A = this chain, B = another copy of it.
Amino acid sequence: MSIKSEMINMAKRAKEASEELARLSTPAKNSMLKNMARGILKRKKEILRANERDVKLAKKKGLSRALIDRLTLNPARIENMAKSLREVASLPDPVGRIMKTTRRPNGLVIKKIRVPIGVIAMIYEARPNVTVEASGLALKSGSAIILKGGSEAQNSNLFITKILNETKGLPERAIQLIRTTSRKAVKELLRLDDYIDLVIPRGGEGLIQMVRRESTIPVIAHAKGLCHTYVDGDADLNMAERVVYNAKVQRPGVCNALETLLVHRDVAKRFLLRMIKRLEGAGVEVRGCPKSRRIAPGINKAKEIDWQAEYLDLILSIKVVKGLTEALDHISRYGSHHSEAIITRNKRAAEKFLKEVDASAVFINASTRLNDGGEFGLGAEIGISTQKLHARGPMGLEELTTYKYLVYGKGQVRT
C-alpha cells in the first residue's frame, strides 16, 4: 500500500471509530480509561524495555541531553501515565452538556450542546507520556485520535498504543499511531480534511510552520512560549524574587517557563543583585542588557537574538526598562502571546498590563508556570494553545469538543 492510501485508510477508519465513540456512555469511557491505567501498570517492565531501545538509539545518534531526558521513562513516569488516565476518568464528561437553552418568540426551543470534534490528529515530539495523555483525553471527549509521535520515541509509542488498544470495549481504530516515521506520511495526512477535523501540532517552530503550510485541516498550534515577567517600580521585591525564581528554575524546559526578565530602572539595582545571585546559585546563566551589566558586571551580554530566544533551559535574559510602557513595548515586540506576568503593588499598572498584553494568560503577582490546565482547574490538558481561535491557553476536555444546535419546532417556518 502506498503511504497515501495508507493514510487515507487510517483516516477513514478513524472517522468510522469516531461515530462509535460519540455514542459511548460516560461510565463506559471511564471504565476503559481505568482499564488502560491498569494495563499500563501491569506491563511496566515491557514498556521500560521498549523505551530502553529508543534511549539507546537516541544516544547512539547523539541526540541532546534534554531530549534524551524527555524521552526516558522510569517506573515513576509510568506510574504518572496511569495516574493521568485515572484523572481523566474522574473529570466530568463534556459530551452532551447543554451550554445554553433559548426560547424564541416564535416558540422554537434551541439547545446548544457539546458534541465530540470527531477525528483529531496529534503531531508531537519526544515525550511518550503525551501518547497516553492525548489518547485518554480524546477517548473521554468522544473523538478518535491519530498520533504521530517523534521517530526517537517510536518503540515506546508503538508498545504503549498496543496496550491502550487491548482495552475491552474500545472501538477499533479509536487510537491509531502512524507507524512510518517519514514526513511524507504527515503531509498526506494533513490534506485529509474530509475525514480529520482538527490537527494539533505540539513542538518546535519548524514543526508548527510545516503543519500550518501543509494542512487543509483546521490547526490548533501548541507552539513556543517566550514568556516575560516585568518587575515594576512598585513591586514587593521579596515576592518578585520568589516568583521570578519559580518561573525560571522550577522547570525550565517547558513552554510557560520564564525566558526574559524586565525590571523597572528604579528598583533594578536593589533587585537585580540579589536576584542574579539566587539564580546563579541554581545554575542559571544570566545574559543582560548594558544597564543590567553595569549593576552586575559579571553576567554575560544579551544580544538581539536573546530577546527572541525561547531557551527552554537554565538561561535568562534581563533587560532594565524605563517603566511600564517600555515593558509593554518589549512584550508586544518579542512575546509569543503565551504567558506574561507583572509584579507590582500598583493597581493601575496591573490593570493596564492585564488589558494591553495580548497573551493567552496574563498574570499579576504570580508565576507564569501557573498557566496550566490543572492549575486553572480545567483538569488534564492536551497542551497549551498558542492560537486565538477555538481554544486559547490550556486545552482540556471541554476545549476538545465542539457544539451543535438542536432546534425543537412545531412547524415553524422562515417569514
Contacts of A406 in B (CB 8 A): 354, 361-362, 364
Cross-interface CB contact of A364 among B193, B219, B358, B407, cutoff 8 Å = B407
* 18 pairs, CB–CB < 8 Å, chain A vs chain B: A102-B376, A104-B377, A108-B375, A212-B216, A239-B410, A246-B413, A246-B414, A247-B413, A250-B414, A361-B406, A362-B405, A363-B407, A365-B412, A366-B410, A367-B413, A370-B412, A371-B405, A389-B389
Q: How far is the CA of A306 from the CA of B409 in the complex (A)?
A: 28
- Chain A to chain B: the 4 pairs with minimum beta-carbon distance, closest first: A366-B409, A246-B413, A369-B414, A390-B390
Contacts of A87 in B (CB 8 A): none
Q: How far is the CA of A104 from the CA of B379 in the complex (A)?
A: 12
Instruction: Check if B370 sits within 8 Å of A414, measured CB to CB.
Output: yes
Q: How far is the CA of A243 from the CA of B410 in the complex (A)?
A: 10
Q: Nearest residue in B to A414 (C-beta to C-beta)?
A: B369
**Per-residue B-contact encoding for A119-145, CB less than 8 Å = 1, 0 else:** 000000000000000000000000000
Contacts of A243 in B (CB 8 A): 409, 411-413
Contacts of A97 in B (CB 8 A): none
Instruction: Check if A362 sits within 8 Å of B407, measured CB to CB.
Output: yes
Q: How far is the CA of A389 from the CA of B116 in the complex (A)?
A: 11
**Per-residue B-contact encoding for A169-199, CB less than 8 Å = 1, 0 else:** 0000000000000000000000001000110
Cross-interface CB contact of A411 among B104, B108, B239, B355, cutoff 8 Å = B239
Q: Nearest residue in B to A217 (C-beta to C-beta)?
A: B212
Using known A-B contacts A110-B376, A360-B405, A414-B370, determine if residue A218 contacts B219 with beta carbons closer than 8 Å.
Answer: yes
Instruction: Check if B404 sits within 8 Å of A367, measured CB to CB.
Output: no
**Per-residue B-contact encoding for A242-258, CB less than 8 Å = 1, 0 else:** 11011100110000000
Instruction: Check if A411 sits within 8 Å of B362, measured CB to CB.
Output: no
Return A246 CB to nearest CB of chain B, in Å: 4
Query: Is A201 an interface residue, CB under 8 A from the partner?
Result: no
Q: Nearest residue in B to A402 (C-beta to C-beta)?
A: B388
Contacts of A390 in B (CB 8 A): 389-390
Within 8 A of B (CB), among A191-217: 193, 197-198, 209, 212-213, 216
Q: Nearest residue in B to A240 (C-beta to C-beta)?
A: B411
A contact residues, total (Cβ < 8 Å): 66
Contacts of A159 in B (CB 8 A): none
Contacts of A115 in B (CB 8 A): 358
Instruction: State the oligomeric state as a number of copies.
Output: 2
Instruction: Check if B413 sits within 8 Å of A364, measured CB to CB.
Output: no
Instruction: Check if B197 sits within 8 Å of A389, measured CB to CB.
Output: yes
| Interface, chain A (partner B; CB < 8 A) | 23, 102, 104, 108, 110, 115, 117-118, 193, 197-198, 209, 212-213, 216, 218-220, 236, 239, 242-243, 245-247, 250-251, 354-355, 358-367, 369-372, 375-377, 387-390, 392-393, 402-415
Using known A-B contacts A198-B389, A392-B404, determine if residue A411 contacts B218 with beta carbons closer than 8 Å.
Answer: no
Contacts of A251 in B (CB 8 A): 414
Q: How far is the CA of A339 from the CA of B409 in the complex (A)?
A: 14
Return A261 CB to nearest CB of chain B, in Å: 15
Q: Nearest residue in B to A191 (C-beta to C-beta)?
A: B213
Instruction: Check if B361 sits within 8 Å of A412, measured CB to CB.
Output: no
Contacts of A358 in B (CB 8 A): 115, 118, 404
Q: Nearest residue in B to A110 (C-beta to C-beta)?
A: B376
